[in-house]
Structure 1
Amino acid sequence: MNKFFYLAGLIFLLSHFPLAAQDDGIRLIVRSDDMGFSHAANLAIIESVEKGITTSVEVMVPTPWFPEAVALLQNYPELDVGIHITLTSEWTNVKWRPLTHAPSLTDGNGYFYPMIWPNEHYGAEQALSRQNWKLKEIEQEIRAQIEIAQKNIPQLTHLSAHMGCTSIAPEVEAIYRKLAMEYALDIHPEDYQVKRATYLGEKETPAQKKQAFIKMLAELQAGVHMFVDHPAYDVPETRAIHHTGYEDVAHDRQGVTDMLTDPDVLQAIKKYGIRLISYADLKK
């Protein structure tokens, strides 16, 4: 009996801290967010998978280009994909609505509010966190997004929160975690001591992004890290997508695509002995 409990405890520890138990090298998840918000993002994200270093892709279910995202992902059955839970519609010229009847989550036109938190450009009247939102409606919307995604994308492994939407209240975070477990999508980087990796230096131009990213790679220490950004192409579609305070979307996101697929970045990853991993690898 004691041997059984010892083995059960060992299995539990290895399943919850597998990477820490196996080696002490540098591991990096490269996550590309917002698949589905535009055609240009969909294609750029796929390029960053095929030719670059993206290891996990986040899909926004309520967005207009979700059907194309589904079709593209069918060609990559081994790719690690997450549901990017979406409770905002931030862009000025393209909008999306809840999949469910959720009036407490929408503005006067029935769209999600642009922001989660008020900021210098968007006041409390345009921020979801300042509305009289209903937890029941948030739960039903998250559940609907999960179920639509699972119906269409078999390689899903996890959830993530667009614009930090689940952080508006502890009870929302609790619902998010409950549903992740219910649908077997409960891979949360914070549970695996994953550290956020960010650019080190200026990142206004593509050249600066590349330099700042490689500098970040050079300074990573042993452990598991995650880098998050948003590839897209600088094309007329993306030039028409913006919101107040973020007008250079096309230029900015083309720079992300270029950086993620740059041969010098690939070479730096090899040079510094960095192992690229995905969310799914955290449980192995």
Structure 2
Amino acid sequence: MKKVFLSLIFLGIIFFGFAQQDQKICLLVRADDMGSFHAANVGCIQSYHEGIVRSIELMPVCSWFPEAVKILKENPGCDVGIHLTLTSEWSNVKWRPLTHCPSLVDQDGYFFPMVWKNENFPPCSSISESDWKLEEIEQELRAQIYLAMVHVPNISHYSIHMGFDGLDPKIGELVDKLAKEYGLEVNTEGLQYFVGWGKDIPIEQRIEQFCENLEKLLPGKYLFVEHPAEDTKEMETVGHPGYQNVGKDRGEVTRVFTSEKVKQVFQKKGIKLISYSDLKE
């Protein structure tokens, strides 16, 4: 009888712990596209050191990957994900695959700009318009995973650049298979998307809108994804048809992520910042 009583107490403590967790507001703030530009590398790590970012996504195919690796090695406490990439969207800078995959590239050997057909781009500018081969996608994704994990051993997860895994169920199944094989799976069940400011909010009003939306959060687990960078001369050259003010846009993301006003709302509401590593644990 005594053992039964003690077991009930133990189960009660566990249940109380879970109940307490359910009453918390947990927010995973993810910074995408580290490695794409020097300005992105600076913005991502600044948002981690001085702001609310806890997970950073690394792009192995990009020009500034070596610098990103150096920065991340200097910050071993930062949660890192592999940002798998099969597109090269910007007009003035292009990325190539790590492997020979002719069905995934244009006539110059660069990744196509888009995943799906886009009216802002000429015909045949997307993966969806190509005769893509699943085996080529697999070999390329394996190469990206390998390169990232060799240089940043503490990688915990993966993410998808521009959502190419939704192009076809076979691609989604392939990505799931690779995640299991390389130990990059994360249980995101119950993780809800948080709308920080929405598409129609002027850049200058983002901090205010972000704070207002944080105030409305109810207990639960949330994910917010954005692309911090510095607004520099380098970023003035970055853009594509339909999206030209990239430097200003992403510079404002960094401002939001490092805002003292935003951090005060976190403290006031008791919002807990989490990472993908936390979800794995």
Distance 2:195 2:93 in 1: 28
Q: In the alignment, what sits opposite 1:152?
A: 151
Q: In the alignment, what sits opposite 1:93?
A: 92
Q: In percent, how many aligned pairs have the same letter? A: 46
1:98 Cα deviation from its structure 2 partner: 0.4
Distance 2:262 2:60 in 1: 31
- TM-score, scaled relative to structure 2: 0.91
- Cα deviations by residue, 1:211-258 (Å, 9 ceiling, x for unpaired): 111122111121110000001111110000110110000110110001
- Are positions 1:67 and 2:66 aligned together? yes
- Are positions 1:203 and 2:201 aligned together? yes
Structure 1's unaligned 5+ residue stretches are: 1-13
Q: In the alignment, what sits opposite 1:117?
A: 116
Q: In the alignment, what sits opposite 1:162?
A: 161
Q: 1:21 to 1:129 in 2, by over 3 A?
A: farther
1:90 Cα deviation from its structure 2 partner: 0.3
Distance 1:57 1:98 in 2: 21
Structure 2's unaligned 5+ residue stretches are: 1-13
- Are positions 1:214 and 2:211 aligned together? yes
Contact 1:197–1:225 (CA under 8 A) maintained in structure 2: yes
Distance 2:96 2:162 in 1: 16
Distance 1:164 1:214 in 2: 28
SS of 1:211's partner is helix
Q: In the alignment, what sits opposite 2:10?
A: none
- Are positions 1:227 and 2:209 aligned together? no
Q: 1:276 to 1:136 in 2, by over 3 A?
A: same
Larger Rg: 2
Contact 2:103–2:133 (CA under 8 A) maintained in structure 1: yes
Distance 1:220 1:77 in 2: 30
Q: In the alignment, what sits opposite 2:54?
A: 55
- Are positions 1:261 and 2:258 aligned together? yes
Aligned pair count reads 265
Distance 1:22 1:221 in 2: 13
SS of 1:126's partner is coil
Distance 2:252 2:21 in 1: 35
Distance 2:169 2:34 in 1: 27
SS of 2:266's partner is helix
Distance 2:229 2:213 in 1: 22
Distance 1:87 1:188 in 2: 24
- Cα deviations by residue, 1:178-225 (Å, 9 ceiling, x for unpaired): 000100001153xx22111112454332x3111111122111121110
Aligned residue runs from structure 1 range 6-85, under 5 A = 22-85=21-84
- TM-score, scaled relative to structure 1: 0.90
List 4+ stretches of structure 1 deviating above 4 A: 18-22
Contact 2:22–2:219 (CA under 8 A) maintained in structure 1: no
1:167 Cα deviation from its structure 2 partner: 1.0
SS of 2:158's partner is strand
Distance 1:261 1:20 in 2: 31
Contact 1:20–1:223 (CA under 8 A) maintained in structure 2: no
1:75 Cα deviation from its structure 2 partner: 1.0
